């Protein structure tokens, strides 16, 4: 890329733009530079190079795409929790205990903090925020089709199940999105720190559901009770989570990637330390628990679509 030419064009853009950027012209220019770099370099080089040969089509998501998606997930969550807590006019609070409410408030507040952060990053980068979508958490698309979760606004168990699904989903999708900001240390850290916060939320919701009688661990497990007739988009949230095959590329001292190695959990690694030892099948269930799997953005987009109209 002709760097000086790019800077000159950004300067032009800044001086001729109708948008009022006078408050922080330098920051805006830098932000736009980030955005321009993003647009010019889709399908991050590092990520592309390290894709195993078995990977599917090359995704070309930009950093802006990533931020819009993570902001969308936070906004959806905020609305879901706000309605459940009775913070949205027209939606009565769910019959939750005071302790349960207090925990959900923590999640709701952290959703709003994430919306603020991602919104700031998006607008600093020169992009505009999308209009707030309309939500229908029953999944009926405002009564135009049969509801998927008809009692979500009255039954805490239904609400908590949907909340858990959305959090487990966020955890999976953050993992895949990190690959598309791979050259940006600040954004990597922001995504990693959001990702682990989402996992804390997910575990809390799972603990809450278990306390209310659901068969579910605080970590995603093959031992969790399967969802009863989930919509296809929701079923995909847990697709592949029971995977026991973990692979990595070896790397040479100079950073070049070597062959793909499969971690021999099912053969030579001495991981079965219980007394008495677990069955081979049971120890591999623990392996599945020990690794949360990534999911592509489309999995999240399809779930969000269930609840927006």
Partner 1 sequence: MADLADTSFSGRALRRRTFLRVASATAASSALILAGCGKDDNPNPNPGVTSGQSVFAGNDTGILNLTYLLAQIQAAFYQKVLTTPPADFTADDKAAFVDMRDHEVIYREFYKSALGTSADINLAQGLEFNFTPYTLTTRKGVYEAARTLEDLAVGAYNGVGRRLRNFSYLRLQLKITSVKARHAAFVRDQVEPNSFAGADVITPTGGQAGLDTIKTPVEVAKLLAPLVPVVLVADNLMLL
Per CB under 8 A, which of residues 160..199 are in contact with partner 1?
171, 175, 178-179, 182-190, 192-199
Give the C-alpha separation, 211 to 206, whole Å: 9
Per CB under 8 A, which of residues 261..300 are in contact with partner 1?
261, 263-265, 269-271, 273-274, 283, 286-287, 289-294
Give the C-alpha separation, 151 to 74, whole Å: 22
Identity of the residue, 59 or 111, whose beta carbon is nearer to partner 1 in the bound complex = 111
The reply to whether 214 sits near partner 1 by the rule CB under 8 A is: no
The three-point CA angle 199-201-202 to 5° equals: 60
Give the max Cα distance, the chain: 74
Identity of the residue, 69 or 148, whose beta carbon is nearer to partner 1 in the bound complex = 69
Identity of the residue, 157 or 293, whose beta carbon is nearer to partner 1 in the bound complex = 293
The reply to whether 30 sits near partner 1 by the rule CB under 8 A is: yes
Cβ burial, residue 144 (10 Å; 0-12/13-18/19+)? exposed
Per CB under 8 A, which of residues 82..141 are in contact with partner 1?
99, 102-103, 106-107, 110-114, 116-117, 121, 124-125
Question: Minimum CB separation from partner 1 for residue 147, in Å?
Answer: 30
Give the C-alpha separation, 16 to 4, whole Å: 18
Q: Looking at residue 254, what DSSP letter applies?
A: T
The reply to whether 72 sits near partner 1 by the rule CB under 8 A is: no
Which structure tokens are listed for 45? 């080089």
Q: Which residue in the set 61, 83, 201, 236 belongs to the binding site for partner 1 (CB under 8 A)? A: 201
Q: Which residue in the set 247, 279, 298, 305 belongs to the binding site for partner 1 (CB under 8 A)? A: 247
* Chain-centroid distance, C-alpha 266: 29
């Amino acid at each position: 890329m002709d760097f000086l030419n790019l800077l000159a064009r950004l300067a032009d853009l800044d001086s001729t733009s109708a948008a009022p950027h006078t408050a922080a012209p330098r920051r805006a220019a830098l932000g736009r530079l980030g955005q321009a770099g993003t647009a010019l370099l889709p399908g991050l080089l590092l990520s592309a190079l390290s894709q195993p040969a078995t990977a599917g089509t090359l995704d070309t998501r930009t950093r802006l795409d990533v931020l819009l998606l993570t902001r969308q997930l936070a906004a959806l969550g905020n609305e879901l929790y706000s309605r459940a807590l009775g913070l949205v006019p027209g939606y009565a609070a769910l019959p939750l205990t005071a302790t349960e409410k207090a925990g959900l408030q923590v999640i709701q507040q952290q959703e709003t903090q994430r919306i603020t952060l991602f919104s700031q990053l998006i607008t600093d980068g020169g992009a505009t925020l999308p209009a707030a979508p309309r939500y229908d958490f029953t999944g009926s698309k405002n009564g135009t089709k049969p509801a998927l979760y008809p009692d979500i606004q009255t039954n805490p168990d239904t609400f908590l199940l949907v909340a858990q699904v959305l959090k487990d989903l966020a955890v999976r999708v953050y993992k895949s999105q990190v690959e598309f900001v791979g050259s940006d240390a600040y954004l990597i850290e922001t995504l990693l720190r959001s990702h682990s916060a989402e996992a804390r939320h997910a575990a809390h919701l799972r603990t809450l559901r278990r306390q209310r009688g659901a068969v579910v661990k605080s970590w995603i497990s093959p031992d969790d009770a399967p969802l009863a007739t989930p919509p296809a988009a929701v079923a995909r949230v847990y697709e592949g989570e029971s995977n026991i095959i973990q692979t990595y590329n070896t790397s040479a001292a100079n950073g070049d990637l070597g062959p793909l190695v499969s971690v021999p959990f099912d053969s030579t690694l001495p991981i079965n330390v219980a007394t008495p030892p677990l069955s081979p099948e049971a120890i591999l269930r623990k392996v599945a628990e020990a690794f949360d799997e990534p999911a592509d953005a489309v999995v999240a987009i399809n779930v969000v679509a269930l609840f927006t109209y």
